[in-house]
Structure 1
């Protein structure tokens, strides 16, 4: 009788799990404290979707490494169920090679073309009339985060622009804090983020876009770009010797713990402040667009792609996850933890902190939206710029003139 009972329980357990339930491995690079809290919102929602599905987490630190791992897996015939990418040209060969699952039916049912804003976010996934990915957030690179106590300690007002900050930096240094926090890990991507923000400030949105879209070596080699490299060199004197291999979230932690005054970093840094229990009202401040008088946001962000599988049950689970990622409740939970904005314009973000409120206001104005650099350049060009700005920042013998000439060469020959 005991064995019959066990068999009956086993059978009932089997019937309790829908036949279409599946385990999906998701590769991503959300590894910091704030990012882990955010991605767990996706995992919890999927695991509790009532279908018996299971999120299998594969977190790999650093985007370049994660993307390389994904591509190796795909080439080896062992693709994951899904993977994180950034909007842009990083995954175009996966589309042309027929490796991605077409999500058009899910997008049509969910009316993605109506709910996603701004339209540039959706266009990253809508290629030739088909939806190939799910945009899950709007990230902007154009932020500076600062410690209010650090400025108070130095007897300084809170900065409203990078010019204000540079003027205050010597006094901040005298007060015993690191004025400018930055990190050099991952081939210098943090330095390039700073550099690209400075490029937009120096050239303006229209001229910056012209440089990248027309591959203009003339603009890239002009006096304005020389000024960017000159200012980048000037900022170096206000950082610390430990910057070289430091990752971005450890850099953010210097500001959180009031050891450093200011960091230029994307709005994912806001997730680290939130994870530390800080509100953005009294603990830390933020500058949008690096200049409060000229607020801008970039339409960067994260997208999730799904790889073709041979199992129809797995494909069904992939489409359930795709729909779930963009659902209102999940969008709010994920983005509040991540520090980013939801891609939906119809969700209630009234509880967001003052920094996100600035971004939500700016993103509604097309004139304040900066197209993500990844939309213009390939991964190869991106790496060449990374290497240039990292080497320039590290080596004081490289002049702004020679760095500008090299940058012009990279842009002029970009694909």
Structure 2
């Protein structure tokens, strides 16, 4: 996404003049962004903080789609050795930390920036608890996209970007028949990636109604849900034997390099294409998993700011939070990340075709809560475990359905 950044507002820096220009405020920031595109994005925040007189201490924790990092964060907060700031997703992941009184609120920044009016209700639901804000939103991701290598599709005789699951499967059949050395579907065989793929199929088969029926109402009795299980199983026939344990960015790399035709993955994958110098519409294609009217599921990232008795920490946290939400911070970070800014008052006129879909959805407030927001962490984890078991075994559709019915009601 290419947008034109403004100059940093002088008042943003002046507001922290009391700290003293000569004193570099150290800020240890824990996150799980370790791929090429992710590292380039977080570096924009780091550079901006350093230019404001701070000292960014980067602490990336790889693995598990953030699970390993979240464990480190929670353990350190509970042990009295909290970082200055820590990454989470829009979800209930940090709700227990709020309840335990481990996080500082951001009410001063929220009031200054008028978050009550500026942020979509579905975002506020995730970051505002008991009347106070506890996390700064930095972007909006959509986890449910399909990415393609246009040169590979052309060689296979696919003349246009597929727009739904049926068209993708037809195109993969052509790739399988005409390009035996190319993997039709690149997949990282990790639990969270398998869960995203399952959700992609669910959206393709039932859209918003099925999404809410499953994750909100906990009702898995529809024929559309059974078809989701059947179609999900069919997709395994397009995946290569090297899938188990593969990281998501390595699967993206297969598409970038022409070793695979498609990948189902969130729009953070676009950051990898950008980092590799690829151009949307020329080198790679993108589409929402059920076409342009696919519900825009809320995904994305926030930073929380744990309480600490160390001197200067609260001042550093205030500076970090203001920088991350600033127009410059939002633009610079999201240009590299593949996501879109959570703010709608920045220059969004020059975005690529993929990002334009997200911008339109955000402005129209056409957002839908993620499964992380609709289910408890226990239920969400149990559901993901059931999905992985079904994908990685010969379990029948009937048995998988029974297991998932138990999982969603935990």
Q: Do the structures match in fold with TM over 0.5?
A: yes
* Contact 1:20 1:317 (8 Å CA) reproduced: no
* CA distance in 1 between partners of 2:101 and 2:23 (Å): 24
Shift of 1:330: 1.1
* Contact 2:107 2:133 (8 Å CA) reproduced: yes
Structure 2, unmatched stretches of 5+, are: 1-17
* CA distance in 1 between partners of 2:323 and 2:315 (Å): 12
What does residue 340 of structure 1 align with? Answer: 339
Any residues of structure 2 matched to 1:41-190 within 5 Å, and which? 41-49=44-52, 52-62=53-63, 63-116=66-119, 118-158=120-160, 159-174=162-177, 175-176=179-180, 177-185=182-190, 188-190=191-193
* CA distance in 2 between partners of 1:342 and 1:273 (Å): 19
Among candidates 25, 31, 35, match of residue 34 of structure 2: 31
* Contact 1:20 1:313 (8 Å CA) reproduced: no
Question: Residue 312 of structure 2 aligns to a residue in which SS?
Answer: helix
* CA distance in 2 between partners of 1:205 and 1:348 (Å): 30
* CA distance in 1 between partners of 2:210 and 2:258 (Å): 37
Structure 1, unmatched stretches of 5+, are: 1-14
What does residue 403 of structure 1 align with? Answer: 400
Shift of 1:293: 4.7
Any residues of structure 2 matched to 1:304-323 within 5 Å, and which? 304-323=303-322
What does residue 4 of structure 1 align with? Answer: none
* CA distance in 2 between partners of 1:261 and 1:322 (Å): 40
Question: Residue 346 of structure 1 aligns to a residue in which SS?
Answer: coil
Shift of 1:371: 1.2
Aligned length: 388
* CA distance in 2 between partners of 1:297 and 1:89 (Å): 19
* CA distance in 1 between partners of 2:183 and 2:357 (Å): 27
Question: Residue 363 of structure 2 aligns to a residue in which SS?
Answer: coil
Q: Tell me the alpha carbon deviations over residues 8-55 of structure 1, each in whole angstroms, 9 at most, x when there is no partner.
A: xxxxxxx99547642111110011100000000110111111xx3111
What does residue 241 of structure 1 align with? Answer: 241
Identify if the C-alpha distance between structure 1 residues 312 and 106 changes in structure 2 by more than 3 Å, giving closer, same or farther.
farther
* Contact 1:182 1:248 (8 Å CA) reproduced: yes
Shift of 1:365: 3.1
Moved more, 72-81 or 15-24: 15-24
Matching of residue 283 in structure 1 with residue 280 in structure 2: no
* Contact 1:180 1:239 (8 Å CA) reproduced: yes
Shift of 1:132: 0.5
Q: Tell me the alpha carbon deviations over residues 367-389 of structure 1, each in whole angstroms, 9 at most, x when there is no partner.
A: x4221111012332222222221
The higher radius of gyration belongs to: 1
Question: Residue 57 of structure 2 aligns to a residue in which SS?
Answer: strand
Any residues of structure 2 matched to 1:333-372 within 5 Å, and which? 333-366=332-365, 368-372=366-370
Moved more, 300-309 or 172-181: 172-181
Matching of residue 270 in structure 1 with residue 270 in structure 2: yes
Among candidates 368, 378, 384, match of residue 386 of structure 1: 384
Q: Tell me the alpha carbon deviations over residues 146-202 of structure 1, each in whole angstroms, 9 at most, x when there is no partner.
A: 1101110011122121111112222201213111111113xx110100111222332
**What is the root-mean-square deviation of aligned Cα atoms in Å?**
1.8
Q: Tell me the alpha carbon deviations over residues 228-269 of structure 1, each in whole angstroms, 9 at most, x when there is no partner.
A: 111011010011000001010000001101111111100000
Identify if the C-alpha distance between structure 1 residues 107 and 363 changes in structure 2 by more than 3 Å, giving closer, same or farther.
closer
* CA distance in 1 between partners of 2:238 and 2:50 (Å): 47
Moved more, 371-380 or 17-26: 17-26
* Contact 1:195 1:389 (8 Å CA) reproduced: yes
* CA distance in 2 between partners of 1:233 and 1:259 (Å): 22
* Contact 1:104 1:131 (8 Å CA) reproduced: yes
Q: Tell me the alpha carbon deviations over residues 203-250 of structure 1, each in whole angstroms, 9 at most, x when there is no partner.
A: 331342243233x3xx21433222111101101001100000101000
* CA distance in 2 between partners of 1:48 and 1:33 (Å): 23
* Contact 2:298 2:368 (8 Å CA) reproduced: yes
Question: Residue 363 of structure 1 aligns to a residue in which SS?
Answer: helix
* CA distance in 2 between partners of 1:390 and 1:243 (Å): 13
